[in-house]
Structures are given as structure tokens and as C-alpha cells.
Amino acid sequence: MKIAIIGTGSVATALGTRWSKAGHDVTFGSRQPESEKVLELLEECAPGTKALTPQLSIVGSDVILLAVPWPAAKGMLAVLGDLAGRVLIDCSNPLTADFSGIELGHSTSAAEEIAHWSKGARVVKAFNSASVKVMLNPQFGDYRATMFYCGDDPAAKDLVKRLISDLDFDPADAGPLASARYLEPLAMLYIHLAFKQGWGSNCAFKILKR
Ligand SMILES: NC(=O)c1ccc[n+]([C@@H]2O[C@H](COP(=O)([O-])OP(=O)(O)OC[C@H]3O[C@@H](n4cnc5c(N)ncnc54)[C@H](OP(=O)(O)O)[C@@H]3O)[C@@H](O)[C@H]2O)c1
């Protein structure tokens, strides 16, 4: 699959390196695609992985992962331009500046705001409820960490489900995009456990079914 990843930070690095090594054609969209930091990132990825400006990185891609800080999301979507019909993965958590809570909830979510700003993109929420350490290795003994995803477009969700499985997560369909109102507070619980309760970031959510 041809994947454009907007951003070259922690999440972009974890998912981009792993997807490239799983055989996907990854292009990072960076504000400084020729910086030393980005060149080092490319060295971690499979040969052929590229970095371009955000606008150029999305040309011809099957899917776009927006992996920028929440306060930068709206501006970056404006830079990307027309995304109507494009599959857009939103991994953001709308954290307050001091990380003590989330800015949105109950009646909307970051994912729904992003869908509104991106005017017609087929937005799927995913990858917001695990740490980067878990993104790098979702296997816990015999168990695979759960990765919840949600969205309103069935084909876009199928595509994202495949990308989740390719990283060895156990994908869990949480329903329509409005379910992001539940998935974003779930990330807040994760942050609370990891950093306030001292669990650290080598723990993950696992849902059981029978
Ligand atoms: N870190 C986690 O454990 C984690 C887990 C789940 C979800 N998330 C979510 O994933 C998203 C990305 O998080 P992250 O931890 O990867 O962030 P990060 O390490 O700070 O990286 C964000 C990247 O976004 C790009 N960017 C574009 N516009 C920017 C701006 N105005 N200010 C700063 N960076 C800008 C930068 O790449 P260039 O400089 O190359 O443009 C930067 O490397 C966030 O929404 C976060 O809530 C994070």
C-alpha cells in the first residue's frame, strides 16, 4: 500500500519504520524533509522510503496518516488542500497543553473535527490508544494488544484494519466515527495509568470476547 505519513515525530517514526519493513511504500510529509533528523529516520526504514513536503507526500497515496500534534492538525489539513474521498487516519488525542485532560468530548471528538476540517476525507480513527513503545511491539506473551478503530466509511475502515493487522495489533472495530468520543478518553486513561499511576508505557489495552 502507498502510505503518506504527515509528521516525523514519535508516532510517525514508529508506524512508518514498521510499515516500510512490512513491505508498504511509505512517504513521510515533513516541513523539513531534508533535515538531518528526517535523513536519520529514513535510514531506520526499508530502502525506498522517502520524505517530501506534506503537500507532495500525499500525491498518489492510498492512505494518509495525520501524525502531528493536535494544535497543528487544522493548519496542516489546510496545507494539504483537497482531501475529498481520501482515506485519512487520525491518531490524535486532543490533549490540553499540560496533558491533564482533553479539550473535547461528549458532543464531538478530535476525529469528527478533523473530518469537518478535511471536507470529505474518509476519516478513520486509529492508533490513538497505545503508546509508541507498544506500536513498536504490540505482542505481550501470547496476546496481541488491541487497537480500536472507528469510522463511517466501510471500505476505508477495511483498509485501516489491514494496516493495523500488519503491525501485529488485534484490530477492534468500535463502530462509527462518533465512537472517537469514547476512544479519545480511553487514551486519557492510558496516559493516567502510564504516567500518573506509574505503570509506564509498556502496557496496553486488551479486549476479550466470547
Ligand atoms: N506519542 C504517543 O505516545 C502518542 C500515542 C498515540 C497518539 N498520539 C498522537 O499522535 C499525534 C502525533 O504525536 P507524536 O507524539 O508523534 O508528536 P511529535 O513527536 O511531537 O511529532 C509531531 C510531528 O508533527 C510534525 N508537525 C507538523 N506541524 C507541526 C507543528 N506545528 N508543531 C509541531 N510539529 C509539527 C513534525 O514533523 P516535521 O517537523 O517533520 O514536520 C513533528 O515531528 C498527536 O496527535 C498525539 O496526540 C501520540
Ligand 1 pocket, residue 202 CB under 6 Å: no
Distance CA 37, CA 35 (A): 5
What pLDDT does 100 receive?
Answer: 86
Average pLDDT per run of 10 along the chain, which is 210 residues long? 98 98 98 98 98 98 98 98 98 92 93 97 98 98 97 98 98 98 97 95 96
E-assigned strand segments in the chain: 2-6, 25-29, 50-52, 63-66, 87-90, 122-126, 139-140, 143-144, 146-151, 170-173
Ligand 1 pocket, residue 57 CB under 6 Å: no
Angle at 109 between CA 148 and CA 178, to 5 degrees: 60
Give the HSE-up count for residue 193: Cα atoms under 13 Å, Cβ half-sphere. 15
What pLDDT does 26 receive?
Answer: 98
Evaluate if pTM is beyond 0.95: yes
Ligand 1 pocket, residue 131 CB under 6 Å: yes
What pLDDT does 185 receive?
Answer: 97
Give the HSE-up count for residue 36: Cα atoms under 13 Å, Cβ half-sphere. 0
CA of 12 to the centre of ligand 1 (A): 7
